[in-house]
Amino acid sequence: MSDIHHHTDDLKIVGKRYYGRWLSALVVLLCVVAMAHSMINNPRFEWSVIAENFTGESILQGVLMTLQLTAISVVLGFAFGTVLALMRLSSNPVLVGVSWFYTWFFRGVPMLVQLFLWYNIAALYPTIALSIPGLGEIWSTQSNALVSPFSAAVIALVMHQSAYAAEIVRAGIQSVGNGQLEAARALGYRPSQIFRHTILPQAMRAIMPPAGNEIIGQLKTTAVVSVISLQDVLFSAQIIYQRTYEVIPLLLVATLWYLLMTSVLSVGQFYVERYFGRGVTRREKRSLLKSLPGFSAAKAERSVSNG
């Protein structure tokens, strides 16, 4: 019996070897290294031109315009989208129908078409006036003076964003169980209190992931305003390369700025999601490192090998 116990102590646990996994990783790594070597050593990329223009005054003004358009359209779009979602969930058939039609229309028409429609609204309504029955016209202005390229871009972006935000908010509200609502009513909460204290905090866990993706998508959607000569980051790059003919380097400058801005938004999205999900994740505190691809798989593999 002692001999058996002695031999058992000498046994070692050997983890499973994943030869196919390591081979595929090596092939992918070699492809990545080859692509990086080609990009670094290809003189046509003109990295010096990229570095020179990356923080240029015109480019930075375009970045600020892009961020401004994104912030305005997201804040107003989700505010209006929340109203549309509540209308859609209402028992009033008129409100439901109006909300459904609005969402159907602005989700179905491409963003570029909407932008051109608002930019050329003067062709339909040359003059915008406000009249009161019995008093007549009390205010009027020319549409071209009222709807500038910036205001046309804001209107188009807000209406486009609100249609998608309405569906995101509606799905989040519907994810809250009826039991929660019944409990709140039993405690004597008013409808406004139920929405603020019961529905909204729980719905935010379902709203934040798609909302974060929508905000990042909206930042990239703002690039369409360059077609109406509004100076965002893409239009700023176009102005420069039309003068210098350095097309690829300037497009790469715009690309790097979009990657930088979306990366910052992705980090912000992670922490906001962690904040609203703090009552659900109990085992360990989520960190940005642990959310990276491959971290969980590597951790699981180590635990199996050590087990």
Token reading at 164: 């998608």
Mean pLDDT value across residues 76-85: 94
Query: Domain-by-domain residue ranges, the chain?
Result: 56-277
* pTM for this predicted structure: 0.79
Q: Residue 285: which pLDDT band, with cuts at 50, 70 and 90? A: low
Residue range 222-255, pLDDT digits in tens: 999 999 888 999 999 999 999 988 899 999 999 9
| Mean pLDDT value of segment 70-80 | 95
Question: Which has the minimum average pLDDT: 86-100, 138-152, 251-265?
Answer: 138-152
pLDDT for 113 beyond 80: yes
Question: With 90 as the cut, is the pLDDT of residue 277 above it?
Answer: no
User: What is the structure's pLDDT at 304?
Assistant: 44
Q: Residue 135 above 50 pLDDT?
A: yes
Reply yes or no on domain 56-277 having CATH 3.30.1370.60: no
**Per-range mean pLDDT, top range of 32-36, 136-140, 300-304:** 32-36
